[in-house]
């Protein structure tokens, strides 16, 4: 069986280094906000070339804290792509704002042209998602945001190390939230997340909010959260951050291999890196006719290939957002993607032989 993601293959070469790090944490009993947390924050900020990194408990919290730190609240509307993981929209709702969904383009990234239709006087921000490992069209988004006076925040959960024309995901908007969920390109061995920003005031605010709204112990000038990265997880992330450039390069090589194996095969649609983007291939999703998708997936699973769909139901059609009253057809590109996509196994350690097996299974399923 070839898994969609092989966390075991990733763990084995890191085992010794990480266990030694964990032992050091245990010796010091520095479980909460121990020195490794600060060290990781400094290292990750340097990696992205951003001034501040504030780690938190998970990616959803990171996104919510971005919205709160931007001073957004009741009745403010935030533009969110309909095809993302649901957390982007949840974060906006949890911060007390309203979500305005927008459609995506053929590369599954936010369709900036369609955003105009969703604007109202209350629209205050836009929250693009760097989906599957490539940066959303940030220059276009920046120009659009400037014209309409919107704050730009980034969902960089799938884009640790991705770039666009030299700019780095997580360092472009006023703030960015990222996730260290185990399966992400930079993943912990449990939950974790971070906000990155170049803005001093935002950083200060988030540092307080993540720690009960307090800068000085037992003094709480505002209502905060308990949302912190575990020191044990910081040890894992430090070990993996050292290798992130290499991991992303391995993913890029794997994506190129898939292109070579699968190109010009009937009407199978392959993903691409948009010109100007340095894609880090968090997900490699192909598209097949919607009428055949589920049968193709079943055939691949029967042939021992782990496949997935990111994501089978676009957010505007989820029960959680039924109150918004969107019907099927509201965001056709997002819905088409949800019906046609199949994610193939991709992870740094995937071998050429495994990829050949995946490609053969897909071709057989489609024939
Ligand atoms: C994983 C992910 C999140 C949420 O991260 P958690 O750490 O699971 O809370 C948010 N947005 C996107 C695009 C994601 O892929």
Domain housing 286 = 244-366
CB of 287 shorter than 6 A to ligand 1: no
pTM metric for this prediction: 0.97
The pair of three-digit structure tokens given for residue 214, joined into one six-digit string = 């307090």
Instruction: Give nearest CA residue, ligand 1 atom 10.
Output: 87
Domain check: are 59 and 82 in the same one?
A: yes
Task: Report the residue among 5, 158, 343 best suited for mutation to probe ligand 1: largest number of ligand atoms under 8 A from its CB.
Answer: 158
Q: Could you count the other beta carbons within 10 Å of the beta carbon of residue 295?
A: 12
Task: Report the residue among 60, 86, 311, 334 best suited for mutation to probe ligand 1: largest number of ligand atoms under 8 A from its CB.
Answer: 60
Atom of ligand 1 nearest to the CA of 60: 9
For position 75, what pLDDT does the model report? 87
For position 244, what pLDDT does the model report? 98
Instruction: Report whether 115 contacts 150 (CB < 8 A).
Output: no
Q: How many domains does the chain have?
A: 2
CB of 178 shorter than 6 A to ligand 1: no
Atom of ligand 1 nearest to the CA of 158: 15
User: Across residues 14-43, what is the average pLDDT?
Assistant: 97
For position 291, what pLDDT does the model report? 97
For position 281, what pLDDT does the model report? 98
Instruction: Report whether 307 contacts 300 (CB < 8 A).
Output: yes
Instruction: Please write the tens of the pLDDT for every residue from 234-251.
Output: 999 999 999 999 999 999
CA distance 163 to 197: 16
CATH code of the domain containing 288: 3.90.1150.10
Domain check: are 308 and 189 in the same one?
A: no
The pair of three-digit structure tokens given for residue 136, joined into one six-digit string = 């959303």
Q: Ligand 1: distance of its center to the CA of 367 in Å?
A: 35
Domain check: are 191 and 70 in the same one?
A: yes
CB of 335 shorter than 6 A to ligand 1: no
CA distance 323 to 348: 40
Instruction: Please write the tens of the pLDDT for every residue from 87-127.
Output: 999 999 999 999 999 999 999 999 999 999 999 999 999 99
For position 88, what pLDDT does the model report? 98
Biggest CA-to-CA distance, the chain: 66
CA dihedral (173, 59, 50, 80) in degrees, to 10, reads: -10
For position 73, what pLDDT does the model report? 87
Q: Where are the beta strands (DSSP E) in the chain?
A: 52-56, 77-81, 98-102, 123-126, 151-155, 163-164, 167-168, 175-179, 193-197, 277-278, 284-287, 341-344
Atom of ligand 1 nearest to the CA of 58: 7
For position 246, what pLDDT does the model report? 98
For position 353, what pLDDT does the model report? 98
The residue among 241, 259, 283 that closes a domain is 241
Report, in this order, helix, strand and coil percent for the chain, each rounded to 5.
45, 15, 40
For position 211, what pLDDT does the model report? 96
CB of 2 shorter than 6 A to ligand 1: no
Whether the predicted pLDDT of 217 surpasses 90? yes
Q: Which helix (H) or strand (E) holds 207?
A: helix 200-209
Instruction: Please write the tens of the pLDDT for every residue from 47-79.
Output: 999 999 999 999 999 999 999 999 998 889 999
The residue among 241, 259, 294 that closes a domain is 241
Domain check: are 178 and 266 in the same one?
A: no
CB of 187 shorter than 6 A to ligand 1: no
Instruction: Report whether 91 contacts 60 (CB < 8 A).
Output: yes
For position 208, what pLDDT does the model report? 97
CATH code of the domain containing 38: 3.40.640.10
CB of 155 shorter than 6 A to ligand 1: yes
Domain check: are 92 and 143 in the same one?
A: yes
Q: Ligand 1: distance of its center to the CA of 156 in Å?
A: 9
Give percent of the chain with pLDDT exceeding 90: 99
CB of 87 shorter than 6 A to ligand 1: yes
Instruction: Please write the tens of the pLDDT for every residue from 298-355.
Output: 999 999 999 999 999 999 999 999 999 999 999 999 999 999 999 999 999 999 999 9
């Amino acid at each position: 069986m070839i898994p969609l993601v092989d966390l075991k293959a990733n763990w084995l070469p890191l085992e010794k280094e990480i266990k030694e790090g964990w032992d050091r944490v245990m010796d010091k009993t520095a479980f909460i906000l121990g020195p490794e947390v600060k060290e990781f924050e400094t290292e990750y900020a340097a990696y992205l070339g951003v001034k501040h990194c504030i780690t938190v408990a998970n990616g959803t919290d990171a996104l919510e804290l971005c919205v709160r730190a931007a001073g957004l609240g009741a009745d403010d509307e935030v533009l969110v792509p309909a095809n993302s993981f649901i957390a982007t929209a949840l974060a906006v709702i949890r911060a007390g704002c309203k979500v305005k969904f927008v459609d995506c383009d053929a590369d599954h990234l936010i369709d900036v042209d369609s955003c105009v239709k969703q604007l109202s006087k209350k629209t205050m921000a836009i929250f693009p998602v760097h989906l599957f490992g490539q940066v959303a069209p940030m220059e276009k988004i920046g120009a659009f945001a400037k014209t309409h006076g919107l704050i730009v925040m980034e969902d960089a959960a799938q884009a640790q190390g991705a770039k666009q024309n030299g700019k780095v995901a997580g360092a472009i908007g006023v703030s960015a939230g990222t996730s260290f969920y185990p399966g992400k390109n930079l993943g912990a061995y449990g939950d974790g997340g971070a906000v990155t920003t170049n803005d001093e005031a935002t950083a200060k605010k988030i540092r307080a909010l993540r720690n009960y709204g307090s800068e000085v112990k037992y003094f709480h000038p505002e209502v905060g959260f308990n949302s912190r990265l575990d020191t044990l997880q910081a040890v894992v992330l430090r070990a993996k951050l050292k290798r992130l450039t290499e991991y992303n390069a391995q993913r890029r090589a794997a994506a190129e291999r898939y292109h070579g194996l699968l190109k010009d095969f009937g009407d199978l649609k392959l993903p691409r890196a948009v010109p100007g983007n340095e894609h880090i291939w968090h997900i490699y999703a192909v598209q097949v006719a919607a009428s055949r998708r589920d049968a193709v997936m079943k055939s691949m699973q029967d042939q021992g290939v782990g496949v997935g769909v990111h994501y089978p139901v676009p957010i505007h059609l989820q029960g959680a957002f039924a109150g918004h009253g969107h019907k099927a057809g509201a965001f056709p590109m997002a819905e088409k993607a949800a019906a046609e996509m199949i994610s193939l196994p991709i992870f740094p350690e995937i071998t050429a032989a495994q990829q050949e097996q995946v490609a053969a299974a897909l071709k057989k399923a489609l024939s």
